[in-house]
Amino acid sequence: MLDADFFRRWMAATAASVDREAERLTALDSPIGDADHGSNLQRGFTAVRATLEKDAADTPGAILVLAGRQLISTVGGASGPLYGTLLRRTGKALGDAPEVTEEQLAEALRAGVEGVMTLGGAAPGDKTMVDALVPAVDALRDGFAAARTAAEQGAEATTPLQARKGRASYLGERSIGHQDPGATSSALLIAGLAEAAEA
Amino acid sequence: MGDDKLVGIVLVSHSAEVAASVAALAKELAGGAEAVPVAPAGGREGGGVGTSAELVSAAAASVDRGAGVAVLTDLGSAVLTVKALLAEGDELPDRTRLVDAPFVEGAVAAVVTAATGADLDAVEAAAAEAYAYRKV
């Protein structure tokens, strides 16, 4: 069973990896975006970490809803509402259970990813975070490590794609050849799950 | 129509200057629209380019007179932030609506229409109709 501590570890691990990878995310966002993805997400997850340290949210659902709300408030770029919706929708799907199974998490995360797709209008293959998240959710039935691998492969597979959503889509064919920053940070979020499970 | 409560208008841009200037421009062009509650929500809190959910929520609350609030946005995170807040359900006043309209032209049309005492549907329709005005 996954308890509140697991979800706190997940958010903390993601905040740490976003810190570590912020420069790389911004570098990926330079040729095809506005070079702020790393700093935006870092600001967001720093706020998530600070809020979770102060707040006594004690169910998996409450922790994710709180984290999602913080991201919407603090990121300032499109990744704020997108990641915020992902976590909040996932948290709402988990309800107020004190512990959830891996299957319940997988199902809730699928609802979260659907929320992201609805909000941003993106489908798989559009060169967005969806390209890492959908394969990760599909792989969750084989465990967190499999999901991490699927997300990383999904992010890498965005390189040859042409962007069809967001600022990068203005570049048309010139967006080809660059790994998508949002898919890359989505892989960090999924890797955070695997780290939380290992801890 | 016929109700003395006016529809409120929120203008969300990545830039504080753009949001404030379009608000001023729309009121100016609307002429005599001083009574229409218009609030800009531009940039990030504390400065910088981007979108602030807090500024959007505060702006919407400040223009809500009970007749609904029309929100116009520029692009990207401005659109997504408003949609995410609307999906939340309790972040924005009742009858707040994201209006699909060009930012500058739509803002002028919305303010002019709101000044007549028109309801939210009419304000939304006028703003959206601004897409139909071809320049060439």
Interval B55-77 mean pLDDT = 97
Give domain limits for chain B.
8-132
Residues 6+ apart with CB under 8 A from A118: none
Kindly report the number of other CB atoms within 10 A of residue B21's CB atom: 16
Q: How far is CA A64 from CA A8, A90, B20, in A?
A: 9, 7, 35
Query: Please, what CATH class does the domain formed by A2-198 belong to?
Result: mainly alpha
Name the average pLDDT for chain B: 94
Strand order in the sheet with B38-42: B38-42, B8-13, B69-73, B96-98
CATH number of B8-132: 3.40.50.510
**Taking 70 as the threshold, does the pLDDT of residue B1 lie above it?**
no
Residue of A73, A119, A167 lying closest to B80 (CB–CB): A119
Interval A166-185 mean pLDDT = 93
Residues of A in contact with B53 (CB under 8 A): 72-73, 80-81
What does the CA dihedral A129, A65, B75, A133 come to, rounded to 10 degrees? 10
Contact (CB, 8 A) for A40 and A80: yes
Beta bridge partners of B73: B12
**Per-residue pLDDT tens over the stretch A92-134:** 999 999 999 999 999 999 999 999 999 999 999 999 999 999 9
Distance from CA of A144 to the nearest CA of B (A): 28
**Taking 60 as the threshold, does the pLDDT of residue B3 lie above it?**
no
Beta bridge partners of A100: A2
**Taking 90 as the threshold, does the pLDDT of residue A48 lie above it?**
yes
**Taking 50 as the threshold, does the pLDDT of residue B2 lie above it?**
no
Report d(CA A93, CA A72) in Å as an integer.
18
**Per-residue pLDDT tens over the stretch A137-149:** 999 999 999 999 9
Interface of A with B in 111-150 (CB under 8 A): 115, 119-120
- pLDDT band, very low/low/confident/very high, at A34 (cuts 50, 70, 90): confident
Closest CA to A190 of A152, A148, A150: A148
Residues of B in contact with A115 (CB under 8 A): 87
Higher model confidence: residue A33 or residue A195? A195
Give domain limits for chain A.
2-198
The percent of residues above 90 in pLDDT, for chain A, comes to 93
Is the pTM higher than 0.90? The answer reads yes
**Taking 50 as the threshold, does the pLDDT of residue B68 lie above it?**
yes
